[in-house]
Amino acid sequence: MNRITPAPDALIGRRFDVAVAKMLGVSRSKAAELIEDGQAGVLGRSMDKAAVLSEGDIVDFELREEQASEEPVAQEMGIAYEDDDIVVVDKPVGVAAHASVGWTGPTVLGSLIRRGVHITSLGAPGRQGIVSRLDVGTSGLMLVCKSDLAYTQMRRQFSEHEVLKTYHALVQGDLKEDRATIEAPIGRAKVSDFRFTVTAAGKPAVTHWDVLERFGRATLVSVNLETGRTHQIRVHFSSIGHPLAGDPMYGGNPKLAERLGLNRQWLHAMQLEFRHPRTHVWTTVRSTYPADLAQALELMREQSMPYARNEIRQ
């Protein structure tokens, strides 16, 4: 398998053997063997196991056949909208946006290509056509570009925050206000390579939310993002003492998750609004809750019947 991938932000400044181990999901000693054997390196410079990854590094894997495996197809991934320029998928939980070394599950990009969907060649290798992403553990709408025109136009719209992205999230506790904005910078947490936190040294992040339904022990909210930082919704709600239900990484109560049958954070990308790259017509694509989140929400309603109020808005 020959694959190149930008060095993940979470691994910048780490030893190369540590980074390779985390990217491939192997032991540090196995990573060191791969580096020494020339199966893992960085384009444009010599790297031994003790070298440190720098920002902008492109990691080059040339794994022998026994290390490679064929990516499965996300057969259950639905198409919410498609034309000659774009395709909007309804991504299930457990599907990554694109391939990365160490991920062996299905991806949005790989599944589309193997289904015969033409994708533009524009974009980083292995990430072509992708202008925004969803976490593996987050379900919902994700837009991929089929034409060169769409990639250029939609990349600009996303970077200039012209695309309206609406999420629904079930957060723990009873939010005091019916609507508010969280404005707090987000950066990598020092305690973990894969966690993020509110920190003065982070990048600006703005999250707007409106209450949809209250349950006393939890609140269903509609969320709009001005920025698209990694784990932004999860980090911001955790920072105000209301972590997402089913999200132990950021403080979710495991007992509540168990009662609701949740195996992941209750978070779904519900709606995308954007100007079509070719026609310039304002376009809205909507999703519905997947089965696991719908079931958890019904359980939440049943368990909170004495408290529950009517929905505030739809």
Q: Give the confidence band of 67 by pLDDT, cuts at 50, 70, 90.
A: very low
312 pLDDT exceeds 80? Answer: no
- pLDDT at position 228 is 87
- Residue 249 contacts by C-beta under 8 Å, 6 or more apart in sequence? 195, 234
- pLDDT at position 101 is 62
- The pLDDT tens digits for 130-178 are 999 999 999 999 999 999 999 999 999 999 999 999 999 999 999 999 9
Q: Give the confidence band of 307 by pLDDT, cuts at 50, 70, 90.
A: low
Residues 180 and 118 sit within 8 Å (Cβ to Cβ): no
Identify the residue whose tokens are 């529950």.
308
- The pLDDT tens digits for 214-269 are 999 999 999 999 988 989 999 999 999 999 999 999 999 999 999 999 999 999 99
Calculate mean pLDDT across residues 298-312.
Answer: 70
Query: Which CATH number does the domain 71-160 belong to among 2.60.40.10, 3.30.70.2740, 3.30.2350.10, 3.30.160.40?
Result: 3.30.2350.10
Q: Annotated catalytic, 135? A: yes
Q: Give the confidence band of 274 by pLDDT, cuts at 50, 70, 90.
A: very high
The reply to whether 2-67 and 163-314 are identical in fold is no
Query: Which CATH number does the domain 163-314 belong to among 3.30.2350.10, 3.40.640.10, 3.40.50.150, 3.10.20.30?
Result: 3.30.2350.10
CATH number assigned to the domain covering 2-67: 3.10.290.10
- Which of 270, 219, 222 is closest to 245 using CA atoms? 219
Answering whether pTM is above 0.85, one says: no
End-to-end CA distance of the chain: 48
* Residue in 60, 83, 135, 210 annotated catalytic: 135
Parse the chain into domains and list their residue ranges.
2-67, 71-160, 163-314
Q: Is the dihedral of CA 93, 76, 74, 90 positive or negative?
A: negative
